[in-house]
Amino acid sequence: MHKDCEYILLDESKIKELVLRLSSDISNDYKGKKLLLVGLLKGSAVFISDLMREISLDIQVDFMCVSSYGRSTVSSGDVKIIKDVTTSLKGFDVLIVEDIVDSGNTLKYIKEYLQSKGTESVKICSLLSKPSRREAHVDIDYLGSEISDEFVVGYGLDFDERYRNLPYIGVLKTSVYS
Ligand code: IMP
Ligand code: MG
């Protein structure tokens, strides 16, 4: 385990189990639909790579990049689109793929934005959720796991751009950011 982690919250086999459950639900629900996965960079990069390879349908994949927290561990609530999708969205059933829902501000904004682009439907798939920190209401249609209010890193999740490459999800020691 990385020395900056307090403990491992989800190990590789547990993550795999979550990904398989989600991909199986998605594969059942989107049969016959025109599914576009939209991954939110950079946090969901690892998750969406595993998820898309387990979906047994013809799908398309695109990415958006929205403003992040920088060196802080709390959201400003002020969302900016840094990179938009390049797919023409009309007629697509869009599934936003996110690493973690915290305040919910990012997803509320992005969902409304994608709904305004002539999409057939817009739903949300997130690996993790911290319900105790919610400010904006968002329905998470496909959720891997709820977690308590701790700052986690690994499997794509960062603190100050570090730790994304850890293959597990660990709780970051508070001494690293306080
Ligand atoms: P929200 O708008 O507050 O829901 O922000 C969600 C985003 O904050 C996620 O996509 C992550 O990039 C980041 N985030 C929230 N909690 C954590 C965490 O525990 N570790 C790493 N990133 C986090
Ligand atoms: Mg993110």
**Cα-flanking dihedrals φ and ψ of residue 177, to 5°?**
-120, 0
Cα 174 to its chain centre, rounded Å, is 23
Q: What is the pLDDT of residue 139?
A: 97
CB of 155 shorter than 6 A to ligand 1: no
| Separation of alpha carbons 113 and 115, rounded Å | 5
CB of 126 shorter than 6 A to ligand 1: no
Neighbours of ion ligand 2 (CB under 5 A): 43
Q: What is the pLDDT of residue 78?
A: 73
Beta carbons of 172 and 158 less than 8 angstroms apart:
no
Catalytic residue among 50, 99, 102, 158: 102
Nearest CA among 175, 178, 132 for reference residue 6: 175
Q: What is the pLDDT along the chain (178 residues), one digit of tens a residue?
A: 999 999 999 999 999 999 999 999 999 999 999 999 999 999 999 999 999 999 999 999 999 999 855 446 666 567 889 999 999 999 999 999 999 999 999 999 999 999 999 999 999 999 999 999 999 999 999 999 999 999 999 999 999 999 999 999 999 999 999 8
Taking the centre of ligand 2 as the mean of its atom positions, its distance from the CA of residue 49, in whole angstroms, is 15
Position 108: which residue type?
Answer: K
> Nearest ligand, CA of residue 76?
1
| Ligand 1 binding pocket mutation candidate from 64, 69, 145 (most atoms within 8 A of CB) | 69
For helices 45-54 and 12-29, angle between their N-to-C axes, nearest 10 degrees:
60
Q: What is the pLDDT of residue 67?
A: 84
Active site (annotated) includes residue 102: yes
Predicted TM-score (pTM) of this structure: 0.95
Tell me the helix, strand and coil percentages in the chain, rounded to 5.
25, 30, 45
Instruction: Report the atom number in ligand 1 closest to the C-alpha of 102.
Output: 4
Position 167: which residue type?
Answer: P
Q: What is the pLDDT of residue 104?
A: 94
